[in-house]
Structure 1
Amino acid sequence: MLFFKINRPSNKYSSQRTSKLPTKLNARSTGIAALLLTLAPGVWTYAASFIDKIRSTELDYVNLQIEKLYGPLYALTEASSVAWDQFHNMHWPAGDDRYFFDPRHKLRPSDVDQWRNWMSTVFQPLNIKVETVIVENSQLVIGNEMPQVFKEAIAQTEAYKAVIGMWKPSDRDTSAYTTEWGNTVTGLNYPDKIGACVKSGYTQLKQRQQQLQRNAVSVLITHPLIPDASCQSSSRQPWIRAKPPVTNDRPH
C-alpha cells in the first residue's frame, strides 16, 4: 500500500502571502479613487449641462407664452378696460344702476351715436386683436384646455361682426335705432373675467421666468402653473349692464 504525504505550506510562507493583502487592497482603493477623481469633473459637467439644457428649454417656452399670448392679451385687456371706464364716465346715460339700453328709460339717438361710435372704432377693434392673439397662439395656454373666457371672447367678437355689419346711417331715422336688439348681441356676454384670467397667467409666467433666469437649479424646483378660477368663470350677466365696481367686469 502506498502512502502519499501532502506537504502543507510552512507558516512562514503563509504569513508572507497574508502580509501582502493590505498592500494590494490599498493599491486597488487608490486606483479606484484616482479613477473617480478623473471621472468626477466629466460627470459633473455632463449633469450640469443636462440640467441647464432642461432649464433653457423651459425658459424658451415660458418666454414664448409671455411674448405671443399672455403679454399681448394683458396689454389689450388692460387697454380695453381703461377705454370702457372712459366711455362709461363720459357717455353712460343718467342712472349708474341701470343698463345702457334699459327699456325703462328711452335713449336719445345721440346716446346710440356714441355707443355705435365707440363699439365700432374702439372696443370691437380691440376685441378683434384679442381674438387674433388667442386663435393664433392657443397652443400656449396654461393648462390642458382652452379657458372658457377665451372661447366666449372669440364667440362674442364674431357675433358683433354681424351686428356692426348691419348698422347704417339711415337707421337713425327708425325706431329700431335706440333698441337693444338693434345694437347688441343678445344673450352673448363679454367675458367679464378675462382680465383676471390673463393677469393671473401673466403674473405666474413672469415669476417662473425670473426663477429660471436666476440659476439652473431652479428647474429642479417644480411649481406647476395652474389656470386661475376666473378662466373658467362664464359671465352670464346681461351684457348691457352698467359697469360694476370691479375694473374688468364690463359687458360690451
Structure 2
Amino acid sequence: MARRKKVYEGKAKILYEGPEPGTLIQYFKDDSAPTASIPAPAAVEGKGVLNNRLSEFFMTGLNAIGVPTHFIRRLNMREQLVRMAEIIPLEVVVRNFAAGELSSRLGIPEGTPLPRPIVEYYYKDDRLGTPMVSEEHVIAFNWATQQDLDDIVALALRVNDFLSGVMMGVGIRLADFRIEVGRIWEGDYMRLIVADEISPDSCRLWDVRTASEAMERDGVTREPGPMADVYTELARRLGVLPTNVTHTPKPSLIN
C-alpha cells in the first residue's frame, strides 16, 4: 500500500490527502488538546475511536437538517472522509450557561443560565493561548468579513439548537461548545461549513440526572455536574458505542 501524504497534524487529529481531489482523510488520535485545566496532552486509549463515532453522529445529523459540514462518511474505526476547506482562524464558542472562563471573567456563578446563547470568537494561535477577540479585530485583520461573521453566528446558533436538543434528549445539558468554520467553493460560489469535529473534546457537558438525583436525595436544587466518563457515557446514551471500547477518561472542557 502506498504511503499516505500527511497534510497536517494537530494535538488530537491527523489530516491526510484524500482519495479524490478536494477531500481529506481525518484520523482521530487518542491525545487530548491541552486546556487551562489540562496543560499537556493526555493520551486515553480508545478516545479517538469514540470521538470518530460521535463526530460522525453529530455531523450526519447536521447535514440531515440542512446545516452544511465537511463530513462525507466514516471510513473505519478512527478515520473519516471529509471535504477540504479553508479554515477561518477562529474558534467559535457558543455559551448557554456561565462556566469556566466566562464565570471567572465576569464573576457570574458557575451554572447560571444565560439570558440567551452568547457567541464569542477566539483567535486560533496556540503560541498566544488562543485569545478572545472582537468582531472589530476579526474584520480589521481580514480573518473574515462582516457577512462571514453574520453567517457564522447564524450557523453556530443552528448548531446550538441541534446539539442542545439532542443532548437534552439523553439527559445531558450543553453548557457550551466550540466549532471551527471553513470556506468551500462550488464554482464561483463560496459557502461556510462546520469543519473539524464535534465531540466531548469541544463541548462542556453536564449530566442532568446527577442534579435530579441530588434534589431527590437532599431536597436541594443543584446545578448539574460534569460527567466523569464523558466519552463512553455519551456514546452509550446516543447508541454509537463500539462494543470493544471501554475506558473512563475525564473530559477536556472549554475554558
Considering the TM-score relative to the shorter chain, is it more than 0.5? no
Report the TM-score, using the length of structure 1 for normalisation. 0.26
Q: Which has the higher contact order (CA 8 A, sep 6+)?
A: 1
Instruction: Name the structure with the higher strand share.
Output: 2
Larger radius of gyration: 1
